[in-house]
């Protein structure tokens, strides 16, 4: 099929390089590998305003409820998380009534937003770009956490995770390096809060700010996550793709990603988290078993090879 015959799709995401932005980059890349689609990812305000007038665009796929179309072209709205503030809540619910269709990455978010007609298509991970973590039984231990410090509920979760790790370090006989990757306006506040805790001598806390998580996956032993606000955290899925054993609290749609005790651990409360993390740290074979199962889970259920055909099927409903 020639370039002019391909179906032109416009992918619109926020300009900030967070989960939805990277989702847009990956979706665009995967669509352009096919023989039938030509996708373009736009995120600047100027491009968002100008591109909907491009007559070559056949379909608009957006994460923004304010996106518009001319010539009555179909619009698909994908919602990645709960909107904050009355303004955005209003426009997401108005968009629900007039866009061609709306999608969410999880059943959890679909129910939370009460979008009964929404189509659920999970987030996807390019698992092949993540080399398998080199898990080994050594005389020190690397725990990795990747999160964002933009929302109070995520930051509060990090502080509670700090309390758990500081406590269990007293019952662990190896040196622990807890590496925290993530940035946001609340970062300095949480650094001060964690710094005020009484730190065991065998625990080293390292803050890396904004960085590529994959730089830290290969030599980590466990991926520890804790949040009070989330949907389907990409960081958790990428850690699983790397073959890391993941432990998280029960938040958002993590139980749609992880089968607890099979390809990860979902802790039900603080004591359960403490006990489960300590057990993971003391049992190398368990870490290997969960990590390998996690990587296979992403490959079989959440890879682009599995998820992209679902997007293509949805697009084709409006591009006949």
- Clarify whether residues 10 and 101 are in a common domain: yes
- Reported residue count of the chain is 320
- Clarify whether residues 95 and 132 are in a common domain: no
- Clarify whether residues 11 and 79 are in a common domain: yes
Q: What is the pLDDT of residue 85?
A: 80
Give me the number of domains the chain comprises: 2
Q: What is the pLDDT of residue 4?
A: 61
- Clarify whether residues 137 and 280 are in a common domain: yes
Q: What is the pLDDT of residue 53?
A: 72
Q: What is the pLDDT of residue 95?
A: 83
| Residue 195, phi then psi, degrees to nearest 5 | -65, -20
Cβ-based burial of 120 (10 A; exposed 0-12, middle 13-18, buried ≥19): middle
* Cβ atoms of residues 264 and 244 within 8 Å: no
- Clarify whether residues 59 and 173 are in a common domain: no
33-91 pLDDT per residue, tens: 998 999 999 998 888 777 767 778 899 999 988 776 555 789 999 999 888 888 878 88
- Clarify whether residues 133 and 155 are in a common domain: yes
Whether the pLDDT of residue 165 is over 60: the answer is yes
Percentage of the chain beyond pLDDT 90 is: 76
- Clarify whether residues 172 and 277 are in a common domain: yes
Q: What is the pLDDT of residue 164?
A: 98
pLDDT-derived band at 189 (thresholds 50, 70, 90) equals: very high
- Clarify whether residues 308 and 180 are in a common domain: no
Structure-model confidence comparison of residues 98 and 240, the more confident one = 240
Whether the pLDDT of residue 16 is over 90: the answer is no
DSSP H/E element including 266 = strand 265-267
DSSP H/E element including 93 = helix 86-98
- Clarify whether residues 284 and 310 are in a common domain: no
- Clarify whether residues 46 and 138 are in a common domain: no
Averaged pLDDT score across all residues of the chain: 92
Q: What is the CATH number of the domain that holds 257?
A: 3.40.50.2000
d(CA 77, CA 100): 8
Instruction: Go through 15-35 and write b for each residue having 16 or more CB atoms within 10 A of its CB, e for each that does not.
Output: eeebbbbebbebbbebbeeee
- Clarify whether residues 95 and 186 are in a common domain: no
Tokens of 274: 């403490």
Q: What is the pLDDT of residue 86?
A: 80
Show the domain range for 17. Answer: 3-124+303-318
221-236 pLDDT per residue, tens: 999 999 999 999 999 9
78-133 pLDDT per residue, tens: 999 888 888 878 888 888 888 999 999 999 999 999 999 999 999 999 999 999 99
Q: What is the pLDDT of residue 2?
A: 61
- Clarify whether residues 179 and 253 are in a common domain: yes
* Cβ atoms of residues 312 and 34 within 8 Å: yes
């Amino acid at each position: 099929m020639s370039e002019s015959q391909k179906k032109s799709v416009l992918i619109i995401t926020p300009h900030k390089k967070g989960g939805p932005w990277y989702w847009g980059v990956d979706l665009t890349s995967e669509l352009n590998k096919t023989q039938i689609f030509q996708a373009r990812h736009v995120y600047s305000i100027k491009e968002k305003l100008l591109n909907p007038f491009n007559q070559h665009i056949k379909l608009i796929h957006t994460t923004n409820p304010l996106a518009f179309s001319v010539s009555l072209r179909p619009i698909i709205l994908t919602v990645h998380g709960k909107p904050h503030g009355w303004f955005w809540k209003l426009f997401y619910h108005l968009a629900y009534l007039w866009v061609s269709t709306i999608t969410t990455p999880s059943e959890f978010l679909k129910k939370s937003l009460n979008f009964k007609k929404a189509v659920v298509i999970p987030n996807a991970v390019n698992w092949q770009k993540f080399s398998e973590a080199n898990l080994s039984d050594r005389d020190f231990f690397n725990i990795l956490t990747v999160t964002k410090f933009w929302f109070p509920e995520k930051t509060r979760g990090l502080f509670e995770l700090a309390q758990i790790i500081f406590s269990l370090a007293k019952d662990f006989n190896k040196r622990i390096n807890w590496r925290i990757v993530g940035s946001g306006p609340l970062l300095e506040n949480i650094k001060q809060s964690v710094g005020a805790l009484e730190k065991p001598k065998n625990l080293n806390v390292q803050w890396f700010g904004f960085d590529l998580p994959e730089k830290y996956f290969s030599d980590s032993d466990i991926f520890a996550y804790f949040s009070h606000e989330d949907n389907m955290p990409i960081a958790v899925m990428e850690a699983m793709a790397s073959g890391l054993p993941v432990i998280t609290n029960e938040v958002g749609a993590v139980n749609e990603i992880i089968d607890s005790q099979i390809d990860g651990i979902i802790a039900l409360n603080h004591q359960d988290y403490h006990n489960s993390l300590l057990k993971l740290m003391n049992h190398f074979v368990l870490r290997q078993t969960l990590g390998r199962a996690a990587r296979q889970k992403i490959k079989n259920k959440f890879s682009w090879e599995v998820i992209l055909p679902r997007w293509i099927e949805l697009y084709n409903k409006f591009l006949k």
